[in-house]
Amino acid sequence: MSAWVFRGARVCGGPPTDLAFADGRVVAEAPVGAQVYDADGLIALPGLVDLHTHLREPGREDAETVETGTRAAALGGFTAVHAMANTDPVADTAGVVEQVWRLGQVAGHCDVHPVGAVTVGLGGQQLAELGAMADSAARVRVFSDDGHCVDDAVLMRRALEYVRAFDGVIAQHAQERRLTEDAQMNEGVISAQLGLVGWPAAAEEAVIARDCLLAGHVGSRLHICHVSTVGSVDILRWAKARGIQVTAEVTPHHLLLTDELATSYDPVFKVNPPLRTAADVTALRDALADGTIDAVATDHAPHALEDKETEWAAAAFGMVGLETALSVVVAAMVDTGRLDWAGVADRMSLRPARIGRLSGQGRPLEPGAPAHVVLVDPAARRVVDPAAMASRSRNTPYAGRQLPAAVVATFLSGRPTVLDGKLT
């Protein structure tokens, strides 16, 4: 395996230094003959880890595949992604999660870690084969019915109890179904003005409160997907103060965009949970900064053209986000002074890897660590062009928008997957 040295890289925003790696690991000194990459002015971060990616394969290859999704991930600086279970067939057996894991191995652009379904067919009636998925070649440690809430409190308790045996985590899509029937956007002033059925914040907060209590009762790990409201932040802060093993993620789009965008009636802004108010955005940014929210996760949700380019009510929920995530976090958190680059590394690499129990990812760039690295140009400014994206789908909310920072290079186990901003 080749050896590389990044000349003048600023590791996590620190002073310029040489960062070297050989045989897939960071080394103290560059070996003779190492390839030299001029990294003057560039930030070096541990490879990013996404806890929440929809790769759509098997079943919806018209929207995304493991190949196209992981190409997008590499361009976004990710060296590992967690592939959600709402595929067709659902990833609720050892066979399906192993299929997704092997597709990731073949693609080779980043590590793919399948998320197993909590219930059979995402139906919310019967626990899926959690133990078999955990023991499979995919070594599943995160389980979620994402897209569907585990409504049944007894079933949720059993799932939390079950995963304790192998240090797994249940990742909950917090949505009280009865409170969100036919809901189209955040419930508030703008939904009333537009005449659209509102999605109340309480629909998210009620489930989070219940599940924090359950996790505390059984002593298990709980992870909350795509937190979006002030009230959710308050509940998480309360639970953590009492020692409950709960972690949470926020999406880049919930850190930057608000429900005012719904006034355009452009379905690209229709997402689950919905875009919230400016007050919610501020609370989410503050919670990510102080650690109440542990991680950024993209909720990359590609959709075929016909599923998004339609009237608002009929359009599918979701946005693509792998290729823009880092830039959005820089805009929302770094440029506003809430996080430094070390904080970005913590929220987008170290903590997500820890939550997903990925021992080979999310490690500080120190000698002996796996050489999963992303180089970022903090001075770059780019206009988002959907046609230039690697993802098979184009439903980005940032089309035509200028975003800060750009991924220059991504290395997976010391092997370049992206160089000079292009896939290798």
Give per-residue pLDDT as tens, 384-408.
999 999 999 999 999 999 999 999 9
**Catalytic residue check, 23:** no
The residue count of the chain comes to: 424
Give per-residue pLDDT as tens, 65-98.
999 999 999 999 999 999 999 999 999 999 999 9
Please report, rounded to a whole number, the percentage of residues in the chain having pLDDT higher than 70.
100
Name residue, tokens 């059925």. 197
Inter-residue contact 275 to 190 (CB < 8 Å) = no
Give per-residue pLDDT as tens, 294-353.
999 999 999 999 999 999 999 999 999 999 999 999 999 999 999 999 999 999 999 999
Other CB atoms within 10 A of residue 154 CB: 8
> Nearest-CA neighbor of 302 among 397, 173, 185?
397
| Cα→Cα distances 122→116, 150, 347, Å | 10, 9, 29
Asked if pLDDT for residue 1 goes beyond 70, the answer is: no
* E-assigned strand segments in 189-318: 198-199, 222-224, 246-250, 295-296
The single residue of 111, 259, 299, 377 carrying the catalytic annotation is 299
What is the mean pLDDT of the segment spanning 97-122? Answer: 98
What is the mean pLDDT of the segment spanning 27-55? Answer: 96
Q: Which domains does the chain have, with CATH numbers?
A: 47-363 (3.20.20.140)
Structure tokens belonging to residue 324? 């823009």
Instruction: End-to-end CA distance of the chain: give it in Å, rounded.
Output: 16
What is the mean pLDDT of the segment spanning 193-214? Answer: 97
d(CA 244, CA 236): 9
Give per-residue pLDDT as tens, 143-194.
999 999 999 999 999 999 999 999 999 999 999 999 999 999 999 999 999 9
What is the mean pLDDT of the segment spanning 12-26? Answer: 97
What is the mean pLDDT of the segment spanning 214-221? Answer: 98
Inter-residue contact 38 to 420 (CB < 8 Å) = no
